[in-house]
Amino acid sequence: MAGMEAGSGGFRNEPNVVPMIDILLVLLIIFMMQVPLQRKKMDVQLPPELQQQQQQQKAASDQIVLQLNEDGSYAINSAPVLKENLERRLREIYDPRPTKLMFIKTARNRKFEEVVEAMDIARGAGVQVIGFTPPEAK
């Protein structure tokens, strides 16, 4: 008899899962192929190299660098500033500016507390973003 197993004494009802697995694999392949097609692209216009160089030069001239020198003195863009006048000078620089970005360049022998104190003074003067310049290679 078809459907009767020898010695079992009855019918066995087992689902055939092979077609279901085949369908799942096909769906998986279809969904995997759709992911790269759904990526969005954005059109971007890049300026010509000449304009880009001019913008880089302008950005470089607009950057303010607070230097903590080895001898314990301070300088803003290589112009010496006394520590007592540092906050006043930074306010003069940053009050008219819309972007309040400053970089700190510190000598290797300066202590962490001195750097944090300079950052506090800059924050008090209105600087919103403070970055650090990488150490120069010897």
User: Which CATH number belongs to the domain containing residue 118 in this structure?
Assistant: 3.30.420.270
Which candidate, 94, 74, 90, places its Cα nearest to that of 82?
A: 74
Q: What is the pLDDT of residue 16?
A: 82
Sign of CA dihedral 44, 50, 53, 54: negative
Amino acid present at 90: L
Task: Answer yes or no: is 115 within a domain.
Answer: yes
Task: Answer yes or no: is 89 within a domain.
Answer: yes
pLDDT tens, per residue, the chain with 138 residues: 455 555 556 777 888 888 888 999 999 998 888 877 766 666 666 667 656 566 666 555 678 889 998 898 899 988 899 989 888 998 888 888 888 888 989 888 888 899 889 999 988 888 888 888 877 755
Task: Answer yes or no: is 51 within a domain.
Answer: no
Domain that holds residue 88: 62-132
**Its pTM surpasses 0.75:** no
Task: Answer yes or no: is 75 within a domain.
Answer: yes
Task: Answer yes or no: is 91 within a domain.
Answer: yes
Helix 112-124 and helix 86-94, axial crossing angle in degrees, nearest 10 = 50
